[in-house]
Chain A
Amino acid sequence: MGFRKMSVLSIGFILILSLVLAACSSNNKSANTGTNSGTQAPASSQTAAKNDGEKTTIRFSTWYGPGDVEIWKNVISRFQAENPNITVEFEPLEWGAYWQKLQTQLASNSAADVIGMHVGIVYGYVEKNQLAPLDDYLSANDRKDQLSESLLVEGQWPKDNPKQYALPWHVTGATLFVNMTAFKEAGIAYPENGWTIDEFKAAAQKLTTDKRFGFSVPTFSMAAGLAGAFGTEPTTADKLHSNYNSPEMLNFKTWLHELIWKDKVAPNPKDLDKNIDPFVAGKVAMAINGAWNFPVYRDIKDFEWDIAPMPSKDGKTKTYAGPDMLSITQDSKNKDAAWKFMQFVIYNQQAQELLRATGVPMLKEDLANDALINEIAAQKPAHFKVFLEGVNNDGIGYAFTKKFFEISQLELDADVKIMERPDADIKKELETLHDQVNKEFEKQ
Chain B
Amino acid sequence: MRDMHKNADVIKSAKKKRRMSPDALWAFILLIPLFVGIGLVYYSALFGFTMSFTSWDIVRKAEWIGISNYRTLIEDDLVWKAMSNTLIFLVITIPAKIILGFLLAVLLNQKLRGIQFFRLTYFFPTACSVVAIALVWGYMYGADGFLNQMLQGLGLSKVYWMDENHAMSSIAIMTLWVGMGYIALLFLAGLQNVPTDYYEASRVDGASKFQQMWKITIPLVTPTTFFILVTQIITAFQMFGEVYLLSGPANSTLTIVQYIFKEAFQGFRMGYASALSYILIVVILIVTVIQLKVQKRWVHYDL
Please report A residues at the B interface, Cβ cutoff 8 Å: 1, 9, 12-13, 16-17, 19-20, 100, 103-104, 106-107, 128, 130, 270-276, 405-406, 412-414, 416-417, 420, 443-444
Task: Decide: B22 and A271 in contact? CB cutoff 8 A.
Answer: no
Assembly CA distance A360 to B147 (angstroms): 41
B30 proximity list for chain A (CB < 8 A): 9, 12-13, 16
Q: Is the CB of B144 within 8 A of A273?
A: yes
Q: At the interface with chain A, which of B55-63, B120-128, B294-302?
A: B55-63
B271 CB to nearest chain A CB (Å): 9
Q: Which residues 234-253 of B sit at the A interface, judged by CB distance below 8 A?
A: 249-251
Contact-size category for B: 20 to 34
Q: Name the distance in Å between A232's Cβ and chain B's nearest Cβ.
A: 22
A9, A106, A406: the one contacting B267 at CB < 8 Å is A406
B contact residues around A420 at 8 Å (CB) = 163-164, 249
A428 CB to nearest B CB, Å? 14
Interface stretch among B135-143, B183-191, B202-210, B274-282? B135-143
Partner of B160, one of A128, A270, A276: A270
For B267, the chain A residues whose CB sits under 8 A away are 406, 443
- Residues of A close to B57: CB separation below 8 A: 128, 444
Judge if B23 is at the interface, Cβ distance under 8 Å.
yes
Q: How far is the CA of A107 from the CA of B62 in the complex (A)?
A: 13
Interface status of B265 (Cβ within 8 A of chain A) = yes
Residues on B lying within 8 angstroms of A by beta carbon are: 22-23, 26, 29-30, 33, 36, 55, 57-60, 138-139, 142-145, 160, 162-164, 249-251, 265-269
- Nearest residue (CB) in A for B76 is A439
Q: Beyond A1-B22, A103-B268, A420-B163: 11 further Cβ-contacts under 8 Å?
A: A128-B57, A128-B60, A270-B160, A273-B142, A274-B138, A274-B142, A406-B267, A416-B250, A443-B267, A443-B269, A444-B269
Determine the distance from Cα of A227 to Cα of B23 in the docked complex, in whole angstroms.
Answer: 76
The CA of A367 and the CA of B299, in the complex, are separated in Å by 79
User: Judging by beta carbons under 8 Å apart, are B142 and A416 in contact?
Assistant: no
A270 contacts which chain B residues (CB < 8 A)?
143, 160, 163
B33 to nearest A CB, angstroms? 5
CA distance A406 to B145 in the complex (A): 30
- Closest B residue to A414 using CB positions: B250
Find the B residue at minimum CB distance from A271. Answer: B143
Question: Contact check: which of B26, B60, B250 meets A413 at CB < 8 Å?
Answer: B250
Rounded to whole Å, the gap between the CB of A152 and the closest CB of chain B is: 26
B-side contacts of A106, CB under 8 Å? 59
Docked Cα-Cα span, A414 to B29, in Å, equals: 58
| Minimum distance in angstroms from A252 CB to a CB of chain B | 20
Contacts of A405 in B (CB 8 A): 266
Question: 18 interchain pairs (CB within 8 A)?
Answer: A1-B22, A9-B30, A13-B30, A16-B30, A103-B268, A106-B59, A107-B58, A128-B57, A272-B143, A273-B144, A275-B139, A405-B266, A406-B267, A412-B249, A413-B250, A420-B164, A443-B267, A444-B55
Q: Using CB atoms, name the residue of chain B closest to A420.
A: B163
A275 lies within 8 A of B29 (CB): no
- Closest Cβ–Cβ distance, residue A12 to chain B (whole Å): 7
A264 to chain B, nearest CB (A): 17
**In the assembled complex, how far is the CB of residue B81 from the closest CB belonging to chain A, in whole angstroms?**
11
Given the interface pairs A1-B22, A270-B160, A444-B55, the reply to whether A275 lies near B138 with Cβ below 8 Å is yes
Q: Nearest chain A CB to B7's CB is how many angstroms away?
A: 27
Residues in chain B near residue A444, CB distance under 8 A: 55, 57, 269
Chain A residues whose C-beta falls within 8 Å of the C-beta of B29 in the assembled complex: 13
* Minimum distance in angstroms from A303 CB to a CB of chain B: 19
Once the chains bind, are A1 and B33 in contact (CB under 8 Å)? no
Q: How far is the CA of A112 from the CA of B30 in the complex (A)?
A: 38
Q: How far is the CA of A416 from the CA of B160 in the complex (A)?
A: 13
Q: How far does the alpha carbon of A17 sit from the alpha carbon of B249 in the complex, in Å?
A: 46
* B290 vs chain A, min Cβ distance (A): 35
- With CB as the reference atom, state the residue of chain A lying closest to B34: A16
Contact A273 B164 (CB under 8 A): no
B164–A416 touching, CB < 8 Å: yes
Complex Cα distance, B142 from A273, in Å, reads: 5
Q: How far is the CA of A271 from the CA of B158 in the complex (A)?
A: 9
> From residue B113, how far is it (CB to closest CB) to chain A in Å?
39
A9 to B22, CA, bound (A): 11
| Least distance between A196 CB and chain B CB atoms (Å) | 32
The 8 closest A-B pairs by CB, nearest first: A273-B142, A416-B249, A413-B250, A107-B58, A273-B143, A273-B144, A416-B250, A1-B22
In whole angstroms, how far apart are the Cα atoms of A130 and B22 in the complex?
A: 54
| Complex CA distance for A420 and B249, rounded to whole angstroms | 11
Contacts of B55 in A (CB 8 A): 444
